[in-house]
Copies of this chain bind each other. A is one copy, B any other.
Amino acid sequence: MNAVSPLAPAAFPDLPAVPGVALYAYAANLRYSGRPDLFLAVMAEGTTVGGVFTTSACASAPVDWCKQILSAGAARAVVCNAGNANAFTGAAGAASVHAEVEALRTSLGVPADQIYVASTGVIGEPLDDGQLVSALGHLVASDEAAWPEAAKAITTTDTFSKGAAADVPGTVVSGKVVGIAKGSGMIAPNMATMLGFLFTDVAATSEALQLAVSSATSESFNRITVDSDTSTSDTVLLFSTGAAGNDPIDGPDHPAWADFSSAVFEVCLDLAHQIVRDGEGATKFIEVHVEGAVSDESAEIVARSIADSPLVKTAMAAQDANWGRIVMAVGKAGEPADRDKLAIWIGEEQITEAGIVHPDYSEDRANMFLQEDEIVVRVDMGMGDGSASIWTCDLTHGYIEINAGYRS
């Protein structure tokens, strides 16, 4: 077990219960011992769902299953094990998913195509479904769990559990959105990231949930990177139990859409930032903000190029204002750029202006900003109005230690 990230929140947040959602967590000893590693949420009849998944061409068996049942838009349960990703396991992997679904269909008495499945952990090892099905029996028979145990049960190399909540204020409908997530390495989401499970009591159609979770993910989970490596198992699901009893939100024209989609986004962004704060070996939480690009898309590509650059990330770890590496990363991004218009800041210290060092630049001041836990790198391309932020962490000996050390 690695030490808790220095960037971790002081404590797991105090998350409210979501009416219509019952949580379960169980120490199944599937791979880890002495901690819950199996999570289940059972949801009220009529629960709707939206979700986004990895774009990996080598997606896991659980991702295949979830994609298959998502179009029906209904959910009664979501189950997740930690320690084995059930990815690259061929026909046996699909059989394991079906065994899980069958076990829960029988014990919970809910339709198979309303049971969502996720797995996280080692890729390529067969999942022992006999052991898993037996563990599921214990899980459904256990007492209801609270959010901290649920959040813990889905973690792998995470050094802290991740949860977030937001209220949907009561002008039109009143309710809440609560989510848990896991992720620490293999983080460069490309449509979704690792695992995020969000629950709301606000009634909404599955189409509205899909829209809310897709747009929130594109601006949150899809804007973080730890190591530029995209997982086979990325899954974000948003469930609505409808227990708030409101006229269901059916899309952007609904009067509560703005409040609801903002709450979903707030929870997604909070969880995404927590994943970066738990980036393997991280000692710095870094926002890379690019503005003045020819388009938002261009700004995002440039910001990602900076955020993924090992030379930029090691300079941040060293608290060294080696800003030439930022220039390099802008240059390699392949996007429209004019070297002689570039302006760069670290924290509030402006380093360059119009393609050369700013006359008032002080490396000492820049290094002061780098000594903080949270660093903002800002680049103005001077080309147009496009802007985007990407959140990342630094690259340290800790990352090598974790990933050249043991198999997570």
Contacts and interface: CB of A to CB of B under 8 A. Distances in A.
Given A124-B324, A317-B400, A396-B404, A185 B311 contact: yes
A141 interface: no
Contacts of A188: 332
Interface in A309-329: 309-311, 314-315, 317-318, 320, 322-325, 327-329
Contact of A87 (B315, B327, B395): B327
B395 A328 contact: no
A56 interface: yes
Contact of A328 (B58, B310, B311, B323): B58
Interface in A204-261: 227-232
Nearest to A338: B57
Query: Copy number of this protein in the oligomer?
Result: 2
Nearest to A335: B57
Interface in A321-351: 322-325, 327-340, 342
Given A123-B327, A324-B123, A400-B396, A227 B355 contact: no
A397 interface: yes
Interface of A: 54-59, 85, 87-92, 122-126, 185-186, 188, 190, 227-232, 308-311, 314-315, 317-318, 320, 322-325, 327-340, 342, 352, 354-357, 395-397, 399-401, 403-405, 407
